[in-house]
Amino acid sequence: MKKLRLGTLLAWLILIIFAIITIFPFVYMVLGGLMSFQETTTIPPTLIPKHFEWGNYLKVFAQAPFARYFLNTFIVAGVTTVISLFNSLLGAFALVNLEFKGKKLIQLILLSLLMVPGEAVIFTNYNTIAQMGLLNTYLGLVLPFLTSIFYMYYLQSYFGSISKTIYKAATIDGASDWNYIWRILVPMSKSGLFTVGLLSFISGWNSFLWPLLVTNEDTMRLLNNGLSAFASDAGAQIQLQLAAATLTVLPILILYFIFRKQIIRGVVRNDLKG
């Protein structure tokens, strides 16, 4: 019994240590964004600011068009989320419920494409976008991400947990595939769809490499690209860099804390297993 308690205490201790290591950089980023320049450059470093310098955030917006960066990022993340979710929904439904010639071959091709890293095709996508004259445009930013094989296969496994007799019963009652999707499938799969939508939005919000390639105008930059440029422009003003980094992360954290239950439910699929 004592060995069991000792093992439990040791496990908790290790968990706490790794939690502190993981959380500390984020906490220091938030606090550092509220420090003065002197506090961020002292050795040993100051951990808690004596006075909260809220004006640092105003300076960030004054020195760089972060409002524009937020708008661009929200548009790109929102458009890619809505369209990729819609396409993944229809694709997953077809792979699960419909029978057609060449279905297995299409699944094999899609699965093989899933194994190809994005970096391997990014320059091909860039050349295509450039030849279409879509550099420095919203369409050029979102076009390669309007569908996702990964999300399609995630929803396919999710839809596969729903009995096919429901689909057959709906078709017998005269429901079209379109009616079945929106009146039966979507309500039964809200958690999975929500998880896919949130993951897609986070991916679009955090995108860096692709926007860096297809945009070279300040007005079309996304948040992470703007933050990278601001880090160079701000120079040694570490407190402003930390404040700007906090601004880029905060919306996603707020989104997570609001919808964390739905995220967990969508991942473990409790509503389908229960």
270: in domain: no
What is the model's pTM? 0.84
Average pLDDT for 12-26: 88
28: in domain: no
1: in domain: no
Greatest CA span in the chain, whole angstroms? 74
Closest to 204 (Cα-Cα) out of 27, 83, 114, 46:
83
Residue-number span of the structural domain to which 85 is assigned: 65-223
pLDDT > 70: percent of the chain: 93
Q: What is the CATH number of the domain that holds 205?
A: 1.10.3720.10
Per residue in 24-59, pLDDT (tens digit) is 888 888 888 888 888 887 877 777 888 888 888 998
Average pLDDT for 190-209: 88
**Domain count within the chain:** 1
**Of 18 and 233, which is predicted with more confidence?**
18
22: in domain: no
pLDDT > 90: percent of the chain: 25
136: in domain: yes
Buried b vs exposed e over 115-152: b needs ≥16 C-beta within 10 Å? eeeeeeeeeebbeebeeeebbeeeebbbbbbebbbebb
142: in domain: yes
pLDDT band at 3 (very low <50, low <70, confident <90, very high): low
Per residue in 102-130, pLDDT (tens digit) is 888 988 888 888 888 888 888 899 999 99
114: in domain: yes
214: in domain: yes
Question: With 60 as the cut, is the pLDDT of residue 270 above it?
Answer: no
Between the ranges 22-26, 139-143, 189-193, where is the mean pLDDT highest?
A: 139-143
Question: With 90 as the cut, is the pLDDT of residue 266 above it?
Answer: no
Round the average pLDDT of the chain to a whole number and report it.
Answer: 86
